[in-house]
Amino acid sequence: MSTPLHTPAADRYEHLPYRRAGRSGLDLPAFSFGLWQKFGPDHSYEKRREIVLHAFDLGITHFDNADRYGPPPRGAQKFFGRVLARDLAPHRDELILSTKAGNPIGASPYQKGASRKSLLASLDHSLRDLGTDYVDVFYSHSPDLSTPLEETVGALVSAVQQGKALYAGISNYLPDRAGEVATLLREAGVPLLLHQPRYSIFDRRPERNGLLELAAEEGFGVIVYSPLAQGLLTDKYLADIPEGARAQASAFLSPDVIDATYRERAAALNKLAGERGQSLAQLALQWVLRRPEVTSALIGASSTGQLDHNLRALDFAPLTGEELALIDEHGVHGTGLKL
Neighbours of 259 (CB within 10 A): 11
The answer to whether position 277 is within a domain reads no
Per-state percent for the chain, helix, strand, coil, to nearest 5: 40, 15, 40
The answer to whether position 176 is within a domain reads yes
Buried b (16+ CB within 10 A) or exposed e, 204-229: ebbeeebbbebbeebbbbbbbbbbbb
Instruction: List C-alpha distances in Å: 74 to 89, 103, 235, 246, 291.
Output: 20, 12, 31, 21, 32
The answer to whether position 295 is within a domain reads no
Residue-by-residue pLDDT tens, the chain, 339 positions: 567 789 999 999 999 999 999 999 999 999 999 999 999 999 999 999 999 999 999 999 999 999 999 999 999 999 999 999 999 999 999 999 999 999 999 999 999 999 999 999 999 999 999 999 999 999 999 999 999 999 999 999 999 999 999 999 999 999 999 999 999 999 999 999 999 999 999 999 999 999 999 999 999 999 999 999 999 999 999 987 766 666 555 666 778 888 999 999 999 999 999 999 999 999 999 999 999 999 999 999 999 999 999 999 999 999 999 999 999 999 999 998 875
The confidence score (pLDDT) of residue 1 equals: 53
The answer to whether position 3 is within a domain reads no
Tell me the whole-structure pTM to 2 decimals. 0.95
The answer to whether position 110 is within a domain reads yes
The count of domains in the chain is 1
* 112 vs 66: CA distance, rounded Å: 12
The answer to whether position 234 is within a domain reads no
- If phi > 0 it is left, if psi is from -120 to 50 it is alpha, else beta; for residue 108 that is beta
The confidence score (pLDDT) of residue 211 equals: 98
Report residue 98: phi and psi, to 5°: -125, 150
Domain at 33, CATH number: 3.20.20.100
The confidence score (pLDDT) of residue 4 equals: 75
3-state secondary structure of 286: helix
Tell me the residue range of the domain where 127 lies: 18-196
